[in-house]
Amino acid sequence: MSNKRGLALFDFDGTITTRDTLFEFIHFAKGSFQFFTGFLVLSPMLALFKAGFISNANAKQYVLSYFFKGIDVSAFNRLCGEFAQQRIPQLIRLKALEEIRQHLASGYKVVIVSASPENWVKPWADSLPVECIATRMEVVDGKITGRFQGMNCHGEEKVERIRAYLNTDEFTPIYTYGDTSGDRPMLALGQHAHYKPFRK
């Protein structure tokens, strides 16, 4: 019988939550008027993204730069903390939360691996508590630039970040959970891979 500890790796947006938290966070932070007028301005860029001319990472950085470039990181993190406390709980799939709690009760290491910024994913993860690997926002002179520090934590980068964070060989069994093609590399790490597992 193995003495190894179990590991559970969860995508966040769409897997644990019912919708993408990036758009929810912008709406929360900026209000309806700035949210809708901003995306009207950004619509030509988003059309290029949908058509495949702009990458997922670049599109996210355009959006984050438009809404948050130049904000003090302390003010940004305060908004993220409020969002994690007030809004994220309303977006959580109850079946996903139950699965996380079952893994924790079994003594598993549970890690959320997200392409969303860690600024709002980690405060929610800490409340459970579980661990968090997520996209990092660049900060220059104490201000958010809207760009990423390093790579967008998406696709193969999720696996790179997981392997930099822990040695998967030290864990068994490994459960993985995701809901998009960007999660498939991470899903492949699991002996028990679950695609869109918490949908009704």
Please give the model's pTM, rounded to 2 decimal places.
0.93
Say which residue the tokens 């969303």 belong to: 116
Average pLDDT, the chain: 95
Q: What is the mean pLDDT of residues 173-191?
A: 96
Residue 200 placed within a domain: no
**149 SS3 class:** coil
Task: Determine the Cα–Cα distance for residues 190 and 126; give it in Å rounded to an integer.
Answer: 23
Residue 95 placed within a domain: yes
Residue 46 confidence (pLDDT): 92
Residue 3 confidence (pLDDT): 77
Number of Cβ within 10 Å of residue 200's Cβ equals: 4
Domain range for 108 is 5-195
Q: pLDDT, tens digit, for every residue of 2-36? A: 678 999 999 999 999 999 999 999 999 999 999 99
Residue 200 confidence (pLDDT): 65
**17 SS3 class:** strand
Q: Do 187 and 176 touch, CB atoms closer than 8 A?
A: yes
Please count the structural domains in the chain: 1
**CATH code: domain of residue 117:** 3.40.50.1000
How would you classify residue 78: left for phi > 0, otherwise alpha for psi between -120 and 50, otherwise beta? alpha
Q: pLDDT, tens digit, for every residue of 116-155? A: 999 999 999 999 999 999 999 999 999 999 999 999 999 9
Residue 156 confidence (pLDDT): 96
Residues 1-35 as b or e (16 or more Cβ within 10 Å = b): eeeeebbbbbbbbbbbbbeebbebbbbbbbeeeeb
Q: pLDDT, tens digit, for every residue of 43-93? A: 999 999 999 999 989 999 999 999 999 999 999 999 999 999 999 999 999
Q: pLDDT, tens digit, for every residue of 93-108? A: 999 999 999 999 999 9
Residue 90 confidence (pLDDT): 97
Does the pLDDT of residue 164 top 70, yes or no? yes
Residue 37 confidence (pLDDT): 97
Q: Residue type at 15? A: T
